[in-house]
Structure 1
């Protein structure tokens, strides 16, 4: 989200309406509602566990009992002592989740099309979420699904209250589909003024459907693991080559679900040890083929959408993410990577802990932080010393201010994740308990 994309001009505060439109058409996270352009130009995506407990990523909401640190983006159970992480924590997956969230914020700040090629955050987060979901389904499915909803929905409601209220104040008139702000089985509606804030909800909606369907998906996967894993790429091929799906909410859900289905099933494969049993040469060959096809398709079709950004080209996103995430998860299983060395660096380890325990909060509030960074920096121009010595026109400066605001939201709003997870509210995971009263 460059200064130009935000409608920024030195010394002048950009209008909200202008920001919303610029951002919506620049990035591929919007949907075709409320006058927006459809996410998929031709048919109609883009900015969480295990024993050793592998948590879920951005935004997963189901931490392992008192010891888990990470949700998807959201699962978050904080570690009490950074120097002695909870038994069973897998810092490799925790680190991947933290890097994925950082990449999401980076993409939404700078809009670099190559970000998804370097690190396909959403595919990685869905893969991590699938792994934790498979582990959790050792318990009764209804209990697991209810737990996931309990951890995801309260932070979503808390955040949504402010977003919906702001849109109402700015003239938005909702209709019956306001119900999607209660349970996002479909894309929640919103005004064009607030699109930059609510367009990221596609991820929570897609994650919710994966959670609801996981008991069935896991049963089918275990009937024939490898065939089901590779056939999970079939839906996105059908949508691209045979039938583009219906318009509206259902169509968007089908596209997103199909794009990341392989990554979710890959999480099952990792949890059940299927990847570890594959020969290295076969994994490298299959991953390279998927990466090659996804990369080729993105560049070969960039003329159709004006960019090679994977978030604008679902088929390329699906195959690139498939190859990338397969390599990451196979390497973790085959070489037994756990990043246990991270505990030797307490501050870095604590950062990873915070990112995992506050993944839902970071994911939901990061766009609002970037929105607020623009008028805040605009005020800096009124201070001569700031204008002289600070790089106010630099996107990197906005990136830094955005993270300061994200940190503030983590402090002010992160406790909701603790309450949702039936834990003692804390200002910062592993820190002092938050005071909920005077």
Structure 2
């Protein structure tokens, strides 16, 4: 199984062959790269991209709520999230100055984290944590995993994703420059480096520095696939050869995982890359979504509150388990889903407006739908 290395935390993520997204849609059902580029220049968002992002957030939440062992086999949420972020960053870099793009991305990423820190750090101090100045600094600028007390672990457990995202945003102008000049070389370099770091040839010690290096290599690979989607590089590969290559990669990853175990990091990386390559080549129009207004609104709301949902879902779930225990009730899957979802909705209603401010929208209790 894919393991997402995050300092003290590891999160499983894998996709299985049950995930069927065909890149062979008919002309009436798919968009060309030229159409996508034209819409990107106009500022319109792709329903497919928004749906994938919402599905990835939902998968992360359901996995940590229900702990369904098969769920990580259905959808590799974290690789997909980094690929989507890379694609959206490429769209912005193609339209604006690199420094402005980086500033915009940081503005959207960091304020929700600061809202979490404004709650988490004082609570941890109240129960005995004595942080140094540098410890608090990482909660403001998470260039490494923000530290926490043992009691406050749930607040920081999932923030490796914010750290990795932050580094890739900061590196995005350099990655974009390299990709525009050597697209194939750049696209292959980071996966090769990640494989090298994961192989027995390199004894990579666990440290904040190596966590950054590994996550940039592993998830930067997915980030660059997003670049390749935006520029149409993936579409220039003949479909038959593309499908064959992705199939070989997926089959090799499955065989490797079958031999080494589902927690093998190298096999998990290869499997995640195969699925990301499949999803980033597909361009379904999803016109049927317009016939389901409530689903369209739900997808838009999840996208508008994606960072808040992600960074708060683990603390909320730990709180839900504590409340059920105090009430003398079993923390079963149904109870955790009900109480956890109720608490998460309450937190999103209370603090989600920070994402509106970060996006320079008028703050609202409910995001625009």
Alignment TM class, shorter chain as reference: 0.7 to 0.9
Aligned partner of 1:13 in structure 2 is none
- State how 1:20-35 maps to structure 2 within 5 Å: 31-32=7-8
**When the two structures are superposed, what TM-score results if normalisation uses the length of structure 1?**
0.73
**Cα shift at 1:326:** 0.7
**Cα shift at 1:287:** 1.2
From 65, 90, 106, give the equivalent of 2:62.
106
**Mean CA deviation greater in 351-360 or 187-196:** 187-196
- State how 1:127-276 maps to structure 2 within 5 Å: 127-138=83-94, 139-175=96-132, 176-241=134-199, 242-276=201-235
Matched length = 342
Deviations 1:329-363 (A, max 9, x none): 1122xxxx121321221111110010000000100
**Cα shift at 1:29:** 6.2
**Where does structure 1 lack aligned partners over 5 or more consecutive residues?**
1-26, 33-37, 40-44, 55-63, 66-86, 303-307, 382-386, 432-438
From 393, 398, 406, give the equivalent of 2:344.
406
- Is the 2:85–2:223 contact (alpha carbons within 8 Å) kept by the matching residues of 1? yes
Distance in 1 separating the partners of 2:181 and 2:149 = 45
Do structure 1's residue 378 and structure 2's residue 334 form an aligned pair? no
Aligned partner of 1:297 in structure 2 is 256
Pairwise CA RMSD: 2.3
- State how 1:275-354 maps to structure 2 within 5 Å: 275-302=234-261, 308-309=262-263, 313-332=264-283, 337-354=284-301
- 4+ long deviations beyond 6 Å: none
Deviations 1:170-199 (A, max 9, x none): 211212333111101111111122222211
Aligned partner of 2:47 in structure 1 is 91
Do structure 1's residue 427 and structure 2's residue 351 form an aligned pair? no
Task: Give secondary structure in 2 for the equivalent of 1:130.
Answer: helix
Aligned partner of 2:17 in structure 1 is none
- Is the 2:7–2:206 contact (alpha carbons within 8 Å) kept by the matching residues of 1? no
Deviations 1:378-409 (A, max 9, x none): 3554xxxxx7xxxx553123112211211111
Counterparts in 2 of 1:247 and 1:368: CA distance versus 1, 3 Å: closer
**Cα shift at 1:250:** 0.4
**Cα shift at 1:28:** 6.4
Task: Give secondary structure in 2 for the equivalent of 1:338.
Answer: coil
Deviations 1:231-273 (A, max 9, x none): 3211111112222334410011112222212211100000001
Do structure 1's residue 363 and structure 2's residue 293 form an aligned pair? no
Aligned partner of 2:71 in structure 1 is 115
Counterparts in 2 of 1:193 and 1:30: CA distance versus 1, 3 Å: farther
Distance in 2 separating the partners of 1:98 and 1:330 = 18
From 64, 77, 81, give the equivalent of 1:125.
81
Deviations 1:295-352 (A, max 9, x none): 33333333xxxxx24xxx43223211110011111122xxxx1213212211111100
Aligned partner of 2:28 in structure 1 is none
Counterparts in 2 of 1:30 and 1:219: CA distance versus 1, 3 Å: closer
**Where does structure 2 lack aligned partners over 5 or more consecutive residues?**
14-35
- Is the 1:110–1:395 contact (alpha carbons within 8 Å) kept by the matching residues of 2? yes
- Is the 1:29–1:199 contact (alpha carbons within 8 Å) kept by the matching residues of 2? no
Distance in 1 separating the partners of 2:256 and 2:359 = 41
- Is the 1:52–1:90 contact (alpha carbons within 8 Å) kept by the matching residues of 2? no
**Cα shift at 1:200:** 0.5
Aligned partner of 1:79 in structure 2 is none
Distance in 1 separating the partners of 2:71 and 2:203 = 26
- Is the 2:63–2:71 contact (alpha carbons within 8 Å) kept by the matching residues of 1? yes
